[in-house]
Amino acid sequence: MMLFLLLVALTSAAADDLPPTCSRPVYCNSTLLHHIQMARLYPDSKTFVDLQMRNDENTTLAAFEELFDRTNGSPSKEELRKFVADYFDETSELEEWTPNDYKENPPFLNNIRDERFREFAKGLNDIWPTIARRVKPSVLEKPDQFSLVPLTHGFIVPGGRFKEIYYWDAYWIIEGLLITDMHETAKGMIENLIELLHKFGHIPNGSRWYYQERSQPPLLAAMMERYYEKTKDIKFIKKYISSLEKEINYWLDTQLIAFNKDDRVFTLLRYYTPSAGPRPESYYEDYDLAQKLPNKDPNDVYTELKSAAESGWDFSSRWFISENGDNSGNLTNLNTTNVIPVDLNAIFAGALQTTANFHAILNNPRKAAHWGYMAEQWRSSIEHALWDEEDGIWHDYDIVNNKPRRYFYTSNLAPLWMNAVDQRFLAKHGARVLEYLHKSEGIEFPGGVPVSLANTGEQWDFPNAWPPEVSIFINGIQNIGSEESSALATKLAQVWVRACYKGFSETKQMFEKYDALNPGKFGGGGEYTVQAGFGWSNGVILEFLDMYGDKLTSEDTSEVTE
């Protein structure tokens, strides 16, 4: 009966071969969603899909069908506004929550040499309760009326418009929580992600139904490793080791691709999220872009957009492949699915090795050997397919033009960050990596290391410096293991902490991203305004103050006030 259970007639017949964005048509693929989002009732497309229904889904769809028929398929903006007011509720699905393990003065503060930085760290620790949330009982009672996926444990939200748990954000939030001795909160966040894994078969981008068909960088193993390092909770590892294997198998089953390089065939991972229709939380923007590309199947456009969103780098020149084969252009040049990403494969190699290590701890030698062998093979493929001998660094690989993408991106150092590099190879080439970095011009900015040197206006490009990428970059340099690399990592950490301290001192806020040209100022570009909060930004500063707190100073003085 319901027109609304069909995919909106905005895609080609190829849509029949693709799954819907999610199994909740009100929030994903329906005429209701199409008309409301295209009417631009809200400046941010995410606002509507975060509303809860006042009634069940069938009642809501039937009411819209009646409106649609009554208006001959052309409801006015005011009629749509009234419909939303009648059938949706803006009340938050979350309630404030103070974690039981929150401490006002966690012990690690005593290890920070600089008094100002010590106060900075305390200020960041004080933010945790302000962005701690748990799901209201009403969501658990009537889960079908929400786009939010209910979760058992309380969690830390990123901040701003991001009012749910996000997959890769959680890694740096958990790092910060562990540093501030909030072990139970960190454990609960990991268990929430594992709940999502078992509900969907993979961990989605975030805990909303409209993220159902896409994941994010597979950092579950790394989170569990950090938790185990802090707590030695072997029961936790034993309970969830099979969940790690489940996630690994998801990526192997869905994202593998074979490609040729130098007369050899390699099999590695890419980001690939084929599903029908625009991203619900960016519906208007995606639909509008597809209309500007009449010679392309709209679902091909949407797949590229969703695949970039799966990477966490939405959007960046990193995913542009122009007609000339370079990284110039704009969103019309998105070709995410034909780029073999360094960071994804490094993270996956790390997950394989961590799973092997956990099995060894659990005295499962056969499984430890199995996953260890796979990790070794993955590291070998990264070395031979993604290491660029000419530049002395790892690069993403373009499988359309069969060539490395020789551009500065912070993700180039991900193999070092994830220890996905053979030690003999590292001993031979570590100095070359440092040489590349000094020649790159990417490490001399006063506000931190930018994610790229391409100024495209996209938010994952110059001059934006993103906390998780700064963490990947600096930890990668540190893991080279030489005196020179350690000195450079410390220097870059100092630049970053000082920049964020400056911004925090002026605004009493941490931001989602920063401007590498202007220390402490927030970044720009993208589909939405900069968000304050901010979970991963707090986590990265706490990480650096934990690692380098005995060395970093807030000013260039020979002595620091104690």
Check 314, 343, 391, 543 and give the catalytic one: 314
Q: Is 247 annotated as catalytic?
A: no
Check 343, 512, 543, 546 and give the catalytic one: 512
225/244 Cα distance (integer angstroms): 11
- Buried-state track 492-515, b at ≥16 Cβ within 10 A, e below 16: bbbbbbbbbbbbbeeeeebbbbbb
185/274 Cα distance (integer angstroms): 34
Residues in the chain: 562
Q: Is 314 annotated as catalytic?
A: yes
Question: Which secondary-structure segment (H or E) carries 156?
Answer: strand 155-156
* E strands, 445-486, in order: 464-465
**Six-digit token string for 136:** 């209201």
Which of 480-486's residues contact partners 24+ apart within 8 Å by CB, and which partners? Answer: 480/416, 480/426, 480/430, 480/433, 480/434, 481/426, 481/430, 482/430, 482/431, 482/434, 484/431, 484/434, 485/430, 485/434
36/33 Cα distance (integer angstroms): 5
Strand partners, 49: none
- Cβ neighbours of residue 341 closer than 8 Å, sequence gap 6 or more: 269, 270, 271, 311, 396, 411
Inter-axis angle of helices 298-311 and 283-291, nearest 10: 130
Burial status of residue 144 (CB atoms within 10 A of its CB: 0-12, 13-18, 19 or more) = exposed
Give the three-state DSSP class for 325: coil
In the block, tokens 């040729």 appear at 260
- Dmax (CA) of the chain: 76
282/259 Cα distance (integer angstroms): 32
Which residue type, as a one-letter code, is found at position 389?
E
Which residue type, as a one-letter code, is found at position 11?
T
> Which are the catalytic amino acids?
314, 512
